[in-house]
Structure 1
Amino acid sequence: MDLEKFKGVFPALYACYDDDGEVSQERTRELCYYLYKKGVQGLYVGGSSGECIYQTLEERKLTLKVVSEALKGKLILIAHVGAPSTRDSIILAKYAESLGYDALSSIPPIYFKLPENSIYRYWTEIMDSTELPFFIYNIPQTTGYNLSIDLFKKLITNKHVKGVKNSSMPVLDIERFKAAVNEDDIIVFNGPDEQFVAGRLMGADSGIGGTYGVMPELFLKAEEFISTGRLKEATIIQAAINDIIIALCSLNGSMYSAIKEVLKLNGLNIGGVRSPMDPISGDDLEKVKTIKTLIDNTIDKYKAM
């Protein structure tokens, strides 16, 4: 299988709601077209940025459907299908396959602390339910499980596994996953946006991130710098990106709420966030304007480089 199509910058798609807090088909389409026009290589649909844990199965299926209708054949689409039960995960996996998605991905099972044999069975049953390629999603800071090299080596023998979306913070993990197999046989996506450049330099082939959607220009430029060997410029733009991420996380509400407020100021209203995540309110709304200006100025600074 040609894995080249999975290389590049893949924004994790945000959940899009109407003014009543219901999943909005219209606003989902608008966000899809907005990101497509920015020049990203693909989208990661239904993950953390999509607020998957706070949505019903039918809401998640609706989002998968709308994104496929908007961008199938235009961008590479990866469906995150992780759910609390294996049953629901398989339902989502088969549905994504029927819609023409290019690949699947999933976090490990959540809430209960399960032994590795249970985690292995969970992922294996999902990946064997379709013929699509599968990317393991390792995000220990939210799931409580850090993918071990031993389990990775066991999973990689499955014909469907084509790599891992690694969101653990140590870039060493990226290097270790690549070293565990022939590096040409898998794709490793860098997860933490704060280390996009470091992750790429340590062997990540691509990036999937939750802040890409609010500043895709900067991650595309960072990828350009890396691909053309301009490593000094790449590290400088990473520092600028990190300043923005820190600002987005400095408010009282959810980072995703801050991102959606910035997008709203850009003329793209995709609603708020779903409780228990908090909205941005009060004095923080004025701070969002400052963050938008910071993003705009940073994009302008690097646009011509």
Structure 2
Amino acid sequence: MTNQKFKGVFPAFYACYDDAGEISESRTKDLCNYLYEKGVQGLYVSGSSGECIYHNLDERKATLKYVAETVKGKLTLIAHVGAPSTRDSVELAKYAEELGYDALSAIPPIYFKLPESSIYKYWTDIMDAAELPFIIYNIPQTTGYNLSMNLFKQLIENKKVMGVKNSSMPAMDIERFKAAAGEDFIVFNGPDEQYVAGRIIGADSGIGGTYAAMPELFLKAEQFVSTGNFEQARSIQRDINDIIIALCSLNGSMYSVIKEVLKLNGVNVGSVRAPFEPVHGEDLNNIPAIKEMIDQAILKYGKN
């Protein structure tokens, strides 16, 4: 395996529900096919955007299974296996390996404030459970833990650690992780609002929660960055950020707004699971305008 397969645009996959709010096989597979046809390089499955914290083990396994059945071998698949307990995380890691995923990833332990020795053991226990590469997931704004350089350097001594998904807002964190780990180490930009900045300062790829709402724009941003067209890269990032602000401006979870946009694109993946709040009331009338923003930006920059 080469790290080249982990470079590019990786949408964070959404939880796909039926009308009763249960995990839907058909809708999961529909979203897989939709994103594959858009030309993304891979999927990050069962992470924050996948509402993983609100799913039980069977539901998370089902999503991992349906995705693998649909696009394994077509897209690079990263299984997020972070869970409140090490036991559940290890079980998910073993299952993802059985399904043929390309790599594992996990947030640090949540809720309790643990010493770094516990966080280190949590991640290494997951790595020991399967013979797959591992991607650290640093998202301090939701977990309460910001990956320290000291722990990072300990972790990268393990040959299974091949990357980090960095969702902290300072772009400098990306540069520091890349500098410490070397050119062969894959750094994924996490904050969608700084995709261009993250790539320029050292990120090799991106994993993001809004990518699936507008994959054409992130693929185009990647094209601009990789070809050195930084004027257009800055321009498309501004338009992406205007769209993200709009996605976050309505009542309900951003993911519920995105899912309403996807419905207008012919992809029904249901809504969101409580305690996430679905967009409702008069704000539903604003969804077409957000879709129009996305459509106009796609026309502005072109699909190819």
TM-score, scaled to structure 1: 0.99
1:14 paired with 2:14, answer yes
- Aligned equivalents of 1:303 and 1:32: distance in 2? 23
Q: What amino acid does structure 2 have at the position aligned with 1:282? A: G
**2:175 equivalent in structure 1:** 175
Contact 2:251 2:283 in 1 (8 A): yes
1:9-158 mapped onto 2 (5 Å cutoff): 9-158=9-158
Consecutive unaligned residues of structure 1, counting only runs of 5 or more, are: none
**1:265 equivalent in structure 2:** 264
Contact 1:23 1:59 in 2 (8 A): yes
Write out the 4+ residue segments of structure 1 that deviate beyond 4 Å after TM superposition: none
- Aligned equivalents of 1:289 and 1:109: distance in 2? 38
Deviations 1:35-85 (Å, cap 9, x if unpaired)? 000000000000001000000000000000000000110000000000000
Partner of 1:50, secondary structure, is coil
Deviations 1:64-123 (Å, cap 9, x if unpaired)? 000000011000000000000000000000000000000000000000000000000000
- Aligned equivalents of 2:183 and 2:36: distance in 1? 29
1:191-206 mapped onto 2 (5 Å cutoff): 191-206=190-205
C-alpha deviation, 1:181, in angstroms: 2.3
Partner of 2:105, secondary structure, is strand
- Aligned equivalents of 2:90 and 2:47: distance in 1? 15
- What percentage of residue pairs aligned between the two structures are identical? 73
Partner of 1:89, secondary structure, is helix
1:277-288 mapped onto 2 (5 Å cutoff): 277-288=276-287
C-alpha deviation, 1:304, in angstroms: 5.9
**1:210 equivalent in structure 2:** 209
- Aligned equivalents of 1:175 and 1:297: distance in 2? 33
- Aligned equivalents of 2:303 and 2:160: distance in 1? 41
Contact 2:155 2:161 in 1 (8 A): yes
**1:161 equivalent in structure 2:** 161
**2:294 equivalent in structure 1:** 295
- Aligned equivalents of 1:197 and 1:161: distance in 2? 25
User: Cα distance 1:32–1:304, how it changes in 2: closer, same or farther (>3 A)?
Assistant: closer
Contact 1:133 1:161 in 2 (8 A): yes
**1:231 equivalent in structure 2:** 230
Partner of 1:162, secondary structure, is strand
Contact 1:9 1:41 in 2 (8 A): yes
Contact 1:260 1:269 in 2 (8 A): yes
- Aligned equivalents of 1:183 and 1:40: distance in 2? 23
CA RMSD of aligned residues (A): 0.8
User: Cα distance 1:304–1:75, how it changes in 2: closer, same or farther (>3 A)?
Assistant: closer
C-alpha deviation, 1:182, in angstroms: 2.0
**1:245 equivalent in structure 2:** 244
Partner of 1:43, secondary structure, is strand
- Aligned equivalents of 1:161 and 1:78: distance in 2? 13
Partner of 2:165, secondary structure, is strand
Contact 2:220 2:303 in 1 (8 A): no
Kindly tell me the number of residue pairs found equivalent between the two proteins.
Answer: 304
Contact 2:247 2:254 in 1 (8 A): yes
- Aligned equivalents of 1:58 and 1:171: distance in 2? 36
- Aligned equivalents of 1:182 and 1:167: distance in 2? 19
Partner of 2:281, secondary structure, is coil
Contact 1:103 1:134 in 2 (8 A): yes
- Aligned equivalents of 2:165 and 2:302: distance in 1? 28
TM-score, scaled to structure 2: 0.99
